[in-house]
Amino acid sequence: MNFSNRSKLIFCVILFILSCAGCFLLGIYQTKKYVAKIMMNQLYESAATSLSLRVKLLKMLRSGQLDKGEDMLEKLVDVELDTLVLYKRIPSSQRSPEIIESIRMAKDYRKMFPQHQVAPNIANSVKSALELAE
């Protein structure tokens, strides 16, 4: 192989590597854009759900349906705790003190007002989530 063929081969290999790297970086960029869009949509959907629940609660409270409003709030606490049970997967050294404090508040509240009955299908996960505050 003479110098000119060897130079062409090296040039082609370098061009191939740079092309692969460029495609890889473009893929990362596109993936980040896609994930950001999904996360923003989830944020908007969560905000819309929260808004509609708050409006329903306000209507209940304004119309004197305090028992219904309290029951709905209790169920919302249950649903949030059912979601937070997955937080147990996070190593305790990496857990957010604010999240643990929120769970502790729910646990203290439930000790003060134990009459609420958690739905049987989520009772175990609610209990498990409350254990995070120990």
The reported pTM is: 0.69
Question: Residue 9: what pLDDT?
Answer: 81
Q: 3-class SS at 120?
A: coil
- Structure tokens that stand for 102 in this block: 């929120």
Domain with 130, as residue range(s), is 65-134
Q: Which long-range contacts (CB under 8 A, 24 or more apart) does 10-18 make?
A: none
pLDDT digits (tens, 9 = 90+) for 24-69: 888 888 898 888 889 898 888 988 988 999 999 999 999 999 999 9
> Do 20 and 71 sit in the same domain of this protein?
no
Do both 120 and 130 map to the same domain? yes
How many helices and strands in the chain, by DSSP H and E?
A: 4, 0
Q: How would residue 2 be classed by pLDDT, with cut points 50, 70 and 90?
A: low
Same structural domain for residues 31 and 79? no
Same domain, 70 and 129: yes
Looking at the structure, tell me whether residues 16 and 70 fall in a common domain: no
Q: What is the pLDDT of residue 134?
A: 81
Residues 19 and 47 in one domain: yes
- 29, 15: one domain: yes
Same domain, 76 and 109: yes
Q: How high does pLDDT run on average in the chain?
A: 90
User: What is the tally of structural domains in the chain?
Assistant: 2
> 92 with 133, same domain?
yes
- 43 and 102 in a single domain? The answer is no
Residue 92, pLDDT above cutoff 70: yes
